[in-house]
Amino acid sequence: MIGALSEQEVSIPAGSILLEGNLVLPRSCRAVVIFGHGSGSSRHSPRNRFVAGILQEAGIGTLLFDLLSAGEDAVYANRFLVLPDGLAPETVRKEPKAVELVRDFFMTGKAVAAICHGPQILITAGLLKGRRATCYRTVAVELKAAGALYEDKEVVVDGNLITSRRPSDLPAFMRETMKMIHSAAYKAKAA
């Protein structure tokens, strides 16, 4: 990474396990986007490194880590996509390959969870018409214009879509995301 101030391997404690990750902080870093990988790829995949590289070139730090063990990741039903907050969605939505990836996940019934500004990527992909969703308050007008049924709630679940408004909603957001991932109905549908 050209101009990187810091690039290091990190371990994130999660209960009785450690999640392994890669943290890159570019010079004059404005924000950090966290990628929790559990979608059939790892922090080492070329696709994930490509998206992280785009963000790093824009002065945004990245933390890529794996949520699933290699054994868990081998089960196709465990795959899901989380769209982050911050400056990342505005950058990611400009990348056709990233938008196509999101569209593919969504259209095949995989779980897609988006928080704060994350729904902007779903808007660009044309996936929210008629769907119940929420987002950060400054994105609400754009969400409604895309045909979504906006709800000002900490978390909204509509089929395979989970959305939340802001970082303070993370407990509800993660509760519903994990509930969907571990549900028998989701695993059967995703297989």
| Catalytic (active-site) positions | 116-117
The closest of 67, 134, 64, 55 to 98, measured between CA atoms, is: 55
How many whole angstroms separate alpha carbon 94 and alpha carbon 189? 30
What angle do helix axes 46-57 and 96-107 make, rounded to 10 degrees?
A: 130
How many whole angstroms separate alpha carbon 107 and alpha carbon 102? 9
Residue 94: both structure tokens together? 């400009």
